[in-house]
């Protein structure tokens, strides 16, 4: 009984050490920096960037956000929607969307120059499919 107890303690200790080492290795794969993602050898991409969409005015038709969010997930795009209310406030919009051009260049390098047109075509297709159901 003592041997069995000692073996189970060794097994638990070994598993615990393995989990700790796995976490340490996975957290330091990016040279210890949480704000960068290595895309190709030698290329560093800022992963704190995202597409920020400052929306104002009337909400879009029912089903649009669901389709939009599905395409965002499918394309693996970092995205944040901010609802600004009924009035357009250019200063607010500029404040939130100031880094979009940087992120759009990253997306363009991955999906090509016409990525935005193809993105919205995917959204439109999904939205139309949701109306047919």
**Could you list the residue range(s) of the whole structural domain that residue 55 is in?**
36-132
CA nearest 100: which of 77, 123, 76? 77
Total count of domains within the chain: 2
User: Do 57 and 84 belong to one domain?
Assistant: yes
User: Do 69 and 89 belong to one domain?
Assistant: yes
User: Do 82 and 101 belong to one domain?
Assistant: yes
User: Do 44 and 22 belong to one domain?
Assistant: no
Phi, psi of 82, deg, nearest 5: -125, 120
User: Do 94 and 111 belong to one domain?
Assistant: yes
The region of weakest confidence among 22-31, 44-53, 71-80 is: 22-31
**How much is the pTM?**
0.61
The per-residue pLDDT for range 90-130, each reduced to its tens digit, is 899 999 999 999 999 999 999 999 999 999 999 999 998 87
User: Do 101 and 66 belong to one domain?
Assistant: yes
């Amino acid at each position: 009984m003592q041997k069995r107890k000692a073996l189970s303690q060794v097994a638990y200790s070994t598993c615990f050490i393995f989990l700790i080492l796995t976490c340490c290795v996975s957290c330091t794969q990016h040279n210890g920096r949480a704000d960068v993602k290595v895309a190709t050898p030698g290329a560093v991409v800022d992963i704190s960037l995202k597409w920020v969409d400052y929306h104002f005015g009337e909400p879009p038709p029912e089903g649009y956000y669901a389709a939009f969010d599905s395409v965002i997930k499918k394309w693996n795009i970092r995205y944040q929607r901010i609802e600004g209310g009924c009035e357009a406030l250019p200063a607010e919009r500029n404040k939130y969307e100031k880094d979009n051009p940087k992120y759009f260049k990253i997306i363009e390098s991955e999906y090509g120059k016409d990525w935005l047109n193809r993105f919205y075509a995917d959204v439109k297709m999904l939205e139309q499919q949701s109306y047919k159901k």
